[in-house]
Amino acid sequence: MSQARIIDAALLDVVSAEARISPRRRRNHNFHADDHAACHRLLNAVEPDSYIPPHRHNDPAKSESILVLRGRLGALFFDERGKITDCAVLEPGGTAVGINVPNGVFHTVLALTPNTVFFEAKAGPYLPLAADEKAPWAPGENEPGAAAYLAQLRDRLSAIE
């Protein structure tokens, strides 16, 4: 049995520090035992220069919920062709503090400030994204154009701030 854990500023600081030195500029801190767990609960620390490509989860059990614990997080939703259908800036105590993403909906999030941390919950087990879950109209994480696309998403969010 796992030990109880308080989610406090010290834990957020540790996960943020790990994100800052990670090549991907983000880091998970899992509360579930392993990738096969039925329910995944995790902290996700992300820095502003980290690019999470738009994606979706097609499995009907793979809806996910995100709540921002620290910093500011942009959230964007897309249609099948890549048009932004909705977006929000999430922050603790703000007008919007989280999102619920139904399965099958293309989405992404991006940190708008350093040391951003969010709590994420979704069904397990972990499976890498299938080809039809990756947005065909957006560059992959390490592909040419990723930085420019991230800048476009950031610009779209700055228009609503």
Tens of pLDDT along 71-93? 999 999 999 999 999 999 999 99
Q: How many Å is the Cα radius of gyration of the chain?
A: 15
Closest CA to 158 of 95, 110, 100: 110
Mean pLDDT of 39-57: 98
Cα dist. 146→51, 75, 116, 137 in Å?
7, 17, 20, 11
| Domains, the chain, ordered by start | 9-158 (2.60.120.10)
Residue 2 has pLDDT above 80, yes or no: no
Q: Which residues contact 52 (CB under 8 A, 6 or more apart)?
A: 26, 46, 108, 109, 110, 141
Give the separation between CA 58 and CA 24, rounded to whole angstroms.
24
pLDDT value of position 53: 98
Residue 1's pLDDT band (boundaries 50, 70, 90)? Answer: very low
Task: Kindly report whether the global pTM for this prediction surpasses the value 0.75.
Answer: yes
Contacts 24+ apart (CB under 8 A), 1-5: 2/31, 2/33, 5/31
pLDDT value of position 156: 96
Condensed to tens digits (0 to 9), the pLDDT of residues 132-160 reads 999 999 999 999 999 999 999 999 999 88
